[in-house]
Amino acid sequence: MSTHRDTDHTFGDQVVVITGASGGVGRATAWEFAKQGARVVLLARGTAGLEGARKEVEQYGGKALAIPVDVADPVAVEAAAEQAEREMGPIDVWVNNAMNSVFAPFKEITPQEFKRVTEVTYLGQVYGTMSALKRMLPRNRGSIILVGSALAYRGIPLQSAYCGAKHGIQGFYDSLRCELLHDKSRVRMSMVQLPALNTTQFGWVLSKLPNKPRPMGKVYQPEVAARAIVFAATRNRRSVWVGFPTFKAIIGNKIAPWYADYVLSRNGYKGQQTDVPASPHRKNNVWEPVPGDQDTYGGFGDIATRHSTTLWLSMHREWVWLIAGVLIAVLIIGLTMD
């Protein structure tokens, strides 16, 4: 972790709530908001990870409040929102990021495991949005970010529960965004669709695979996702796609889903496993957090990139279109003069 502070203070003194903030994307997102002087409320189950994230937020120049909470419990989420406003002030941004998953063929997943993934990954975002809107709608301001995935559009083998939850989030978001537009609400919403990331989930996700799980395809560091989330919180864009693999998965599935079925049926099993056998004593966080501070990064830093050209172009698309328009105009003028 770097202690460099950003000079942008868009979120200075604003209150930002982040679920799943004890590690991975949530923790990296807390850093980005903290650089801008935000008051960051960290929600997660693991107290050790929350404490580590709290210290880092303060090192980056933000203020932090850590609240242990299971996002699958709507009563606990609402209580956390009340505490956040009581101790930090009115909530300006709510980031729904918490997730868990099961890596296994569907036939090997129990009903209880599938339900748990759905409750955390899908309903956790619903409950968070409910608590955020309860406070933002009367004030007619605020920003809610749903953290999605390319897998919200294109399911892959061995992650049926997670893919189903992300598809559910996408449908929920479509519906709610229409309602906010109908009501002419000034509360902003956006969904950030992520690629494979080098996060800690591959170390603690429940896996029934013979080898250790790994992110599939091109891998990005969690800071890339964090930058996209912070950017989305400043805009009212319908969605932000992160990384070329996300574009390829979403657009490719719209054009030829049958081809994606074929490719993933051949490559999806091997592509999500390393060559290292899994330990029979491996711990997972489906029901309880893994003990200790799991930090932010997974074990794939050697293949992960810290930059995304497609994200940069998306974040600066107004300038991209302006430059493209100027170049086209110059070309047209040149042709007419010949």
Q: Is 269 assigned a catalytic role?
A: no
Per-position b or e across 316-338, b if 16+ CB within 10 A of its CB:
eeeeeeeeeeeeeeeeeeeeeee
Note whether 71 and 43 are within 8 A (CB).
yes
* Close Cβ partners of 258 (under 8 Å, ≥ 6 residues apart): none
Single out the catalytic residue among 60, 153, 162, 220. Answer: 162
- Dihedral sign, CA of 59, 62, 68, 70? negative
φ, ψ (nearest 5 deg) of residue 292: 90, 175
Compute the distance between CA of residue 146 and CA of residue 177 in angstroms, rounded to an integer.
11
* Close Cβ partners of 88 (under 8 Å, ≥ 6 residues apart): 15, 39, 41, 63, 65
Residue 71: closest CA among 43, 94, 93: 43
Compute the distance between CA of residue 1 and CA of residue 34 in angstroms, rounded to an integer.
13
The residues annotated with a catalytic role in the active site are 162
